[in-house]
Amino acid sequence: MKSVNIASNEVSQGSWKPSTKTKIFLILLYIAAWIIFVGLCIEAGGFITNAVFVLAQPQAVPYLWQQVDLRDLLQYGHGFSLPW
């Protein structure tokens, strides 16, 4: 088995080829990264939607996503940056 020197031109010129196991592992990592990214986008979208509805129509919040109910936070105080 030939050892690969990372500092050599052999790697930088593209003559090194990953094994089949490495390719499969990288594909699985790529798919897992996309699944995590889409999941985080959905979470962030739900949080932003609830935040907007709490400010615009607090009575509609019980019909939305229940994991992020910001009505109590709104009742606690509007904060320093909101003018209303």
pLDDT of residue 69: 62
pLDDT of residue 12: 58
* Alpha helix (H) residue ranges in 1-84: 9-12, 20-56, 71-76
Residue 54 is assigned to a structural domain of this protein: yes
pLDDT mean values, one per 10 residues, the chain (84 residues): 57 76 96 97 86 78 67 65 54
pLDDT of residue 52: 82
Range of the domain at 53: 18-76
The domain total for the chain is 1
* Contact in structure between 53 and 61 (CB atoms under 8 Å): yes
